[in-house]
Structure 1
């Protein structure tokens, strides 16, 4: 059983400082002391609850998001994932895996349990709103869609919620104590590796977007229920109209 889900923001060295500064500004969280032989790992620490976002400095490759799945028995979880179609990449105190479609993830020991509350913000004109990074969208090319969705449903044990026929989304129902939802998203491209991006839920998308732009993000696209932005570290992510506590749109 997955007891906690962590998202890692992996950044190349040339945008490492920019990335950490931006994401602490977005979340309002602090940073832990650096960990690892070269100080490449840190946790974003919320003012209440347990950490579920971490940053890693990469020494090759571009910015990406990978998942850490916290479990009681790392080795048993890895073997079960392999049986479901994953590939084991490396092992030490944790196990590095790759999903059937190529998304990197790790099994790590359990510990965290308390989901943080949304952060609250006040606009310059005095309006209050709340936001929270609460979702990892799994961006899946069409050829990998069926296998990848089936894998994550089986691995997590999370129920896939209903969506409109032919929808590009297959949301998994987040257990109440988990900090992050998983949202498989079918891409228009036919092939390629599965990757991931972060989504924020916000009670005022326009105000939240303005806040991010002031922190250095750029708006790429505005849709009916979400806005696509590009962070200063070149990472794409979205701000959505979903409720930061429940994770669903108010009218749903």
Structure 2
């Protein structure tokens, strides 16, 4: 059983400080002390509530990956491989795998901390937002198989979205981070980006631009942005809760 879901923002080491400043500002968090063999890991700590976002300094390109807190890491890794995942690394503290079509994720030991959502983030003009969703971007040919993998791995309920290219997998117990599945119009390895729910997407976009992000494109109810490492993320018109 998945007890907690962590979003990991992997950013290049040579631009890590710049990106850490951006993400701590837009999530109203502060950085934990560094940890890891090369001091590469930090947690984004909200003023209250349980954190659900971490960052990692990496040598290569930016990406987003997930850490899934589970009761039995070894059993969960075995199950993931039975479902088609590939083993990447066995570490004493976690196991790294790739989904059948290429997305990195980690299985980590769960604790029993109480679930408490962090507060909403209020921008300079009063608009509110929350980083509350990871969108798994799946190539068109791989969509059915990859969707089946994530649904069976999590054991969560699959629900079609309002648009045919989207679906959700919902846990029985509410978590601060949701998972959205998106079918792309192209074929490429599975990856992920983060979404922020916003009370006013244009106001939040202006604030983020002032901090070093840029607008990439607009959709019906969202704006695609790029952070200071040029990693895409979305501001959505979903009401932040």
Q: TM-score, normalised by structure 1?
A: 0.90
Residue of structure 2 in register with 1:13 after alignment: 13
Q: SS where residue 157 of structure 2 aligns?
A: coil
Whole-angstrom CA distance in 1 between matches of 2:116 and 2:160:
25
Whole-angstrom CA distance in 1 between matches of 2:122 and 2:23:
15
Q: Where does 1:97-246 land on structure 2 (aligned, <5 Å)?
A: 97-111=97-111, 112-124=113-125, 128-163=126-161, 167-189=164-186, 191-245=187-241
Runs of at least 5 residues in structure 1 that lack an aligned partner in the other structure: 246-252
Whole-angstrom CA distance in 1 between matches of 2:212 and 2:200:
19
Please state how far the C-alpha of 1:80 moved relative to its aligned partner: 0.7
Whole-angstrom CA distance in 2 between matches of 1:63 and 1:207:
26
Is the alpha carbon distance of 1:170 and 1:3 closer, same or farther for their aligned partners in structure 2, counting shifts above 3 Å? same
Whole-angstrom CA distance in 1 between matches of 2:213 and 2:142:
31
Confirm or deny: 8 A CA contact 1:113 1:177 kept in the other structure: no
Q: Deviations over 1:218-237 (max 9, x none)?
A: 01112221110011111100
Is the alpha carbon distance of 1:30 and 1:175 closer, same or farther for their aligned partners in structure 2, counting shifts above 3 Å? farther
Confirm or deny: 8 A CA contact 1:44 1:55 kept in the other structure: yes
Please state how far the C-alpha of 1:162 moved relative to its aligned partner: 2.7
Confirm or deny: 8 A CA contact 1:174 1:182 kept in the other structure: no
Q: Is 2:75 the partner of 1:76? A: yes
Whole-angstrom CA distance in 1 between matches of 2:123 and 2:42:
28
Q: Is 2:35 the partner of 1:38? A: no
Whole-angstrom CA distance in 2 between matches of 1:77 and 1:228:
34
Please state how far the C-alpha of 1:50 moved relative to its aligned partner: 1.3
Please state how far the C-alpha of 1:115 moved relative to its aligned partner: 3.7
Moved beyond 3 Å, runs of 4+: 174-177
| Larger fraction in strand | 2
Q: Number of residues paired by the alignment? A: 239
Whole-angstrom CA distance in 2 between matches of 1:82 and 1:162:
26
Whole-angstrom CA distance in 2 between matches of 1:143 and 1:122:
40
Q: SS where residue 20 of structure 1 aligns?
A: helix
Residue of structure 2 in register with 1:47 after alignment: 47
Whole-angstrom CA distance in 2 between matches of 1:175 and 1:210:
36
Please state how far the C-alpha of 1:164 moved relative to its aligned partner: 5.0
Of 134-143 and 174-183, the range deviating more from structure 2: 174-183
Q: SS where residue 172 of structure 1 aligns?
A: strand
Whole-angstrom CA distance in 1 between matches of 2:224 and 2:109:
33
